[in-house]
Chain A
Amino acid sequence: MTESFLTTLLPQLASGAAHTHALGFAYEGLEGDRVRMRVPYRDDLVGDPETGVLAGGLVTTLLDHAGGLAVWVALDAFRPIATLDLRVDYMRAAQPGRDLLAEARCYRLTRNLAFVRAWAFEDDPADPVAAAQSAYMVSAEGDSRTGANLKPRRAKDAA
């Protein structure tokens, strides 16, 4: 792994864009090949006001974001990626008032695809609130247009 990518660019990618800023996502670093994010508990991120449990949609966003970072860790570089699909199992309610952590690991990387698992928990990854299995499209270097990976462009298409 390139030290400079992991130490300089990855934390910037982890801080994300407007949406993840608004949600308060914080980069927690790497644990081996797993990347770790935190979302501090906030009242406006609650899904069920009767219980104070964080919203399922927030957990999904956290796992999606952490999963994308895991792809870049596996690539050891930045390339545009897009979530293809994402499945989340909600094992139990998150504990009200507690920050939520997420860890993600890219366990298979091909030319076009990255396969990721991610899980969310308060203290112990072995006692997850939710777990995700997801696939990301990875842009081919140099050309991110639809089908650019499939075959050379025909002469008449090249303008």
Chain B
Amino acid sequence: MTAALLDTLPYARFLGLQTQVNGDEITVTMPFDDRLIGNPLLPALHGGSTAALLEMTAMAQVALTYPGLRLPRPINVTVAYLRSGKPVDVYARARINRAGRRVAYVIAEAWQENHAQPIASLTAHFLLDEATSG
């Protein structure tokens, strides 16, 4: 359950998410696609697609850092929208700020052409479960 995790999740495939693993750090790309558009006038990506990218990136980072656990389940997520998402690729990375026995607290950021100008940031708690046998 590492690099290929998101490839196994239907919704991550629906969004076209691509995972790159660099050492112990994951970068997830959401390639631009017309069906990610939420506002055709600007045009801008739907905030929900960016939120889902951030949440999936956080989940994949937890799964990579703590192998052997069941798929981390979100308890809550908070997304701050910083800039309008342009109709180009989006990248995301997550950092685990604290992981206890049952809960991980994760921060994630999404950006487009300029890493220093994130379009959205996420903070989230995930529930960690031991992998069920079988």
A interface, CB within 8 angstroms of B: 16-22, 43-50, 54-58, 60-62, 64-65, 82-90, 93
Contacts and interface: CB of A to CB of B under 8 A. Distances in A.
Contacts of A43: 10
B81 A61 contact: no
Given A45-B10, A48-B9, A18 B37 contact: yes
A36 B97 CA distance: 36
A84 B46 CA distance: 13
Interface of B: 8-15, 34-40, 45-49, 51-53, 55-56, 71, 73-81, 84
A58 B11 contact: yes
A145 to B, nearest CB: 13
A45 B77 CA distance: 19
Name which of B35, B38, B53 has the most chain A CB atoms within 10 A of its CB.
B38
A interface secondary structure, majority: mixed
Of the listed residues B15, B46, B84, the one surrounded by the most CB atoms of chain A closer than 10 A to its CB is B46
A85 B37 CA distance: 19
B79 A85 contact: yes
A56 B74 contact: yes
Given A19-B35, A47-B10, A86 B75 contact: no
